[in-house]
Structure 1
Amino acid sequence: MGNTSSMLTQYDIEEVQSHCKGIFSQREIISLYERFCILDRSGKGFILEDEFMAVPEFALNPLAQRLLRILEGVNFKEFVLLLSAFSPRASFKEKMEFIFKVYDSDGDGKVTTSDILGVLRDLSGSFLTEKQREQVVIQALDQAGFSSGCMLTYEDFVKVLVKANLKMEVEVPVD
């Protein structure tokens, strides 16, 4: 499985399926492997930044740079595990853990007001002023019982986001 030019064995498929906690079927894993091989233009068994950025949907994503921090040098098993967070079959906890990683820009296990503002800045572009973004963050934190200067642990972060009805799902074509 390390070299993308090789085909997946039944053992590989079952191992990846176990790694993603059964969220994807064997057929979906094979389809994802075919897509992974297309992305892995270097054939080294992992996807590099420029290979991710060659995907128009990814390159146009306002959070692309944050996602690259999580994705850089990802092998096939990690690729499938990452995509599993977007599945309708993924648990709420799995989705929240992924979102937390996106917000935690320095990977220290805490999300600061600055981290939240950074994501909001990436998402809103020029549609909101910096003052408006700050007001949105302060209001969201306040509604969840936190102050704007706090550092949120994963559990705190979930408390803030749980009021938002998040839908983070992507269909995985199997054809």
Structure 2
Amino acid sequence: MGNASSMLTQYDIEEVQEHCNYLFSQQEIVSLYERFCQLDRSAKGFISEDEFLSIPEFSLNPLSKRLLRMVDGLNFKDFVAFLSTFSTKASLRQEIELIFKVYDIDGKGKVTFKDLLEVLRDQTGSFMSEEQREQVVTKVLEEAGYTKDCSFSVEDFIQIIDHPGLKMEVEVPID
């Protein structure tokens, strides 16, 4: 699979399917490969930050900067694994783990009050004051039984978010 311009073999397709826990069919893998090759304008076999930002849905996302640190330099196999999190077939745990990575700003495996505040700042921009953001985050933490001084591991995060009715689904165009 090295070069993005090469053709996928049946073995490559099956390897990618296995890597993404079979959340995509073989035809979807082929379509995603075609899209990956379109995005990989430099034909280096991975997608750069600038190439990701050429996707309108991605560039308009207020959390795109956070997502970029997870996707910059992905090869095709990892690109599909990343997208599999957004599949309707993805487990709630997979979805929450991705959300956790977005919130875990420094990548140290913990989410803090400051991290929550920063993500809310990214999402609200000038529509909320810093004081309002702090009140919102404090209230959410209190309702979940935590204080501003707590930090959360991915397991804590899963326990907080894992409740019936929560589902993160995004339509990923593959054509």
Normalised TM-score (structure 2)? 0.95
Note if 1:116 corresponds to 2:111.
Answer: no
Q: Paired residue for 1:22?
A: 22
Q: Cα offset for 1:165?
A: 4.6
* Letter aligned with residue 110 of structure 1: K
Q: Paired residue for 1:69?
A: 69
**Following superposition of structure 1 onto structure 2, how do residues 158-169 of structure 1 map, counting pairs within 5 Å?**
158-162=158-162, 165-169=165-169
Q: Paired residue for 2:125?
A: 125
Q: How many angstroms apart in 2 are the aligned matches of 1:158 and 1:56? A: 30
Q: Cα offset for 1:56?
A: 1.6
- Counterpart contact for 2:3–2:43, Cα < 8 Å: yes
Q: Paired residue for 2:104?
A: 104
* Letter aligned with residue 113 of structure 1: F
Task: For residue 145 of structure 1, give the secondary structure of its aligned residue in structure 2.
Answer: coil
Q: Paired residue for 1:171?
A: 171
Q: Greater shift after overlay, 7-16 or 123-132?
A: 123-132
- The superposition leaves residues 88-135 of structure 1 with CA deviations (integer Å, 9 ceiling, x where unpaired) of 100011111111111101100000111111111111111211111111
Q: Cα offset for 1:159?
A: 2.7
Q: Paired residue for 1:135?
A: 135
Change (3 A) 1:65 1:172: closer
* Letter aligned with residue 77 of structure 2: K
- Counterpart contact for 2:85–2:98, Cα < 8 Å: yes
Q: How many angstroms apart in 1 are the aligned matches of 2:154 and 2:86? A: 19
Q: How many angstroms apart in 2 are the aligned matches of 1:3 and 1:174? A: 20
Q: Cα offset for 1:9?
A: 0.4
Q: Cα offset for 1:73?
A: 0.4
Q: How many residues align?
A: 175
Q: How many angstroms apart in 2 are the aligned matches of 1:161 and 1:133? A: 19
Change (3 A) 1:110 1:174: closer
Q: How many angstroms apart in 1 are the aligned matches of 2:5 and 2:68? A: 24
- Counterpart contact for 1:28–1:172, Cα < 8 Å: no
Q: Cα offset for 1:171?
A: 2.8
Q: Paired residue for 1:93?
A: 93
- Structure 1 unaligned regions, length at least 5: none
- Counterpart contact for 2:92–2:162, Cα < 8 Å: no
Identity score, percent: 63
- Counterpart contact for 1:52–1:58, Cα < 8 Å: yes
Change (3 A) 1:120 1:59: same
Normalised TM-score (structure 1)? 0.95
- Counterpart contact for 1:141–1:160, Cα < 8 Å: no
Q: Paired residue for 1:8?
A: 8
